[in-house]
Chain A
């Protein structure tokens, strides 16, 4: 996933310990200090006004005005940061449900949010465009809970390794990241959400370790994976751990690393700077991820449930998919994008829209391990990642 958000950490900190958060948590702790002022003013609410709180990747800027033309929806987009952890925390224990109507979150937290009562299921009869979503996207685990649909895949992609073929030749395994010959010349992301999955995929597929689902490790599997990462960290295998678009681009662009796990757009950026950069198709497979729409309980409480459904349907209608593909190179997993481009060829190039869709589809034709922001052992993941940091 990619967001142009260097301030993710600060943003998360600020939002986490903001006054509202303190009050809210204090209220939850027993002292009912929570006043009316901490809610969105009712006067600001009008029919069709929707607050969309999502990963920055999903923002299409001025193109949101089309939602007003097409569906009478005034969409106010707010970036929820690069890191799904704090976003979930704000939904569960914070004020996000008071401020926003629809969430766009990296997939995996749906069950947790549903159990905590922060989100409510979609009424699929009100979203006819869901029919055109690619079947394998509909099959993403954790979109459903208890037989109900909590997540709608809005954007989908798969990540692997960015590398320099001029220095390394062809790379087709995550083994390159852990190759002692490349000590100090490789990097991973500073987040278990991606890095633990990559390491687990490698251990499972190439070192025949007993690992079930790389996206949802058991306690023992997690220990194995994290000890593996800690050992390599201590050996000085990693140049650094990176986070955020600029840091990722800089590591590749300035030749600090020869290979690193990361986002495909970094490859394009590296090529723009005249470097030979490729995106690997590893034998262990890609890490697939979906950014899913969730319906916040607060929206329904405020009577915006129908508008939210209208919005979800509009998002899957084709225009948004074309706009997002054009602006950011990301794909909404639906055939309606191509259909829309073909019907509006003056606006979007159907060939390009199709090529982008095929490119993503091809990645998912082989092995894929799904990214999961809330594995069952979520707390252990967090604890292990801190151990890795502090090791």
Chain B
């Protein structure tokens, strides 16, 4: 049965370093939840606390509302697929998968049945006698999955399990995770630094930074309403502009930038000191006569061919830089480097975001 996870105001310090700082989080039963962050963000520490391999300095960990903070890993209803897989090198594939059942005292005949059906589940039928040290990377990955899944865990923890696989295998295993999540119905918690993985698999995800949750939500929320410029950058909006100020005008936001006023229809209110995250695919180039109010003056600083589009490097009147992705069929008509142009912004091309550091560190 799937189990829900509660992280209640957890802090974990190592000496003077705060790996986690007052983190609060609720992961629903049966959810596929991803902790996304770069190394040192605290995501692996959080996973260890859930798995029972570490204890918080302060705060509690709850499974289905029960306090499990002091429960050791071997008694928790969670199982883990480790980053290095941690297959027992002195055991065959079958022995690896059977290990947890054996520890639990499951009878040999029952054990055999469950090992076989779990190996079938991960497409490794007939591999039971094989030497784990002689398998391919993908096969080892499946053994690690089978070893955890055979326990029918209420919570499956995946600690960067795709690191070290080539791109094709990553894609394949990613699909596999999705399929297995559907089949088992368990709560899946994935730790990764790869945003594609997070976006494609997660029901919900959290972006972590310096031991704090920067934003928690559904993948689409991170693009529509990034919690701050850090999140915006993390999900791929690498350019963030700093306007002179933002003003409200009815349900619209007006940005004052490089001496011009630009109306962002329907954009959210993030206060006067907010920033603007740029989506380069929603910017188009217009000639110098385009209407002020919905466009900005810029100079072409360069361009680069990117296959399906040209990447134009642009500079605003106040020196701030941004990119525009221009489909190739339009590119020839547009000016050379050094020429003035006007930039037209489609809906959502500039997303108002608060400056980072002002977030709540909680998902509610």
Check whether chain A touches chain B (CB < 8 angstroms). no
